[in-house]
Amino acid sequence: MTTKIEQINQERMDALSPKERIARSGRMLRWARACIARQIQAQRGPLSDERLKWEVALRMYGSDPRARATIERKLADVSD
């Protein structure tokens, strides 16, 4: 069963143009990455921007074996 809030949200999403939907998706992805970055920094302390970028990628895409292998190779090359 769809709640009233879900219905309103869906109507607003349906009203967006494709360009607006893509922009919104990009903002949501940046928000998610920022949230994960904050969690990692809270757990591990300060990291270089490069290391943090790859640690975030590992958290987001690490369930895919090929992506994990690529990310882990990149992490091995990052200097602390």
Indicate the domain borders of the chain.
4-77
Q: Inform me whether the pLDDT recorded for 22 exceeds 90.
A: yes
Give the Cα separation of 17 and 8 in Å (integer).
17
Q: Where are the alpha helices (DSSP H) in 1-80?
A: 4-15, 18-44, 49-61, 65-77
Write down the pLDDT at residue 80.
72
Q: What is the mean pLDDT of residues 63-74?
A: 98
pLDDT of residue 1: 77
pLDDT at 29: 98
Residues 79, 68: contact at Cβ < 8 Å?
no
Residue 26, pLDDT score = 98
Residue 15 identity: A
Residue 79 pLDDT exceeds 90: no
pTM for this predicted structure = 0.82
Contact 74/54 with Cβ under 8 angstroms?
A: yes
24-67 pLDDT tens trace: 999 999 999 999 999 999 999 999 999 999 999 999 999 999 99
